[in-house]
Amino acid sequence: MKNISLFVILFMLLISGCTGSTRPKLVPSGGIITKDGKPLADVRIEFRKPDTGASAFAETDTDGKFTLTYSLGEQGAEPDKYLVTIFQKGKPIPLPAGVKAEDIPEERRNQTTPEVSITNSDKKPIEVEIPATGNLELKIEVK
């Protein structure tokens, strides 16, 4: 009986040590994106860690402001260095003159143009570092 109790205690200790969370530490992260000094409105942003591929993402509002969301849907990002990719979202394709939406097959009614990657004019990657304390005032300028 004593051996069984000892086994149960050791088993419980072993299990409790194996259930630690693998969730990364997230910090508040966000800011504003501009191009030629003007806010980049309604773009999609991806922050990707070059070493692991882990990412955070956001969409800007009409003022170019954004708040990052981690890849698991939680607010924030891991403190680290990131490569930033910015995408202009696709725009709805207008119907040709005289054509009604109901005359077009449903799968083609709401088509959009492809997303377009926005890059620096010199094609250098956009790099950002998020500090351990987080930063809600990141300033990203596309050149």
What CATH number has the domain bearing residue 47? Answer: 2.60.40.1120
Contact of 89 with 102, CB cutoff 8 Å: no
| The pLDDT value given to residue 95 | 78
Predicted confidence (pLDDT) at residue 67 exceeds the cutoff of 90: yes
| The pLDDT value given to residue 137 | 96
Q: Do the domain assignments include residue 1?
A: no
| The pLDDT value given to residue 8 | 47
Domain count, the chain: 1
| The pLDDT value given to residue 20 | 52
Alpha helix ranges (H) inside 1-143: 2-18, 106-109
For residue 133, what are the CA distances in angstroms to 26, 67, 78? Answer: 9, 15, 10
Domain that holds residue 98: 26-142
Q: What's the one-letter identity of residue 122?
A: D
Q: Do the domain assignments include residue 132?
A: yes
Q: Do the domain assignments include residue 21?
A: no
Q: Do the domain assignments include residue 7?
A: no
Q: Do the domain assignments include residue 134?
A: yes
Angle 74-130-24 (CA atoms, 0-180°, nearest 5)? 40
Residue scoring higher pLDDT (69 or 119)? 69
Average pLDDT of the residues in 49-61: 93
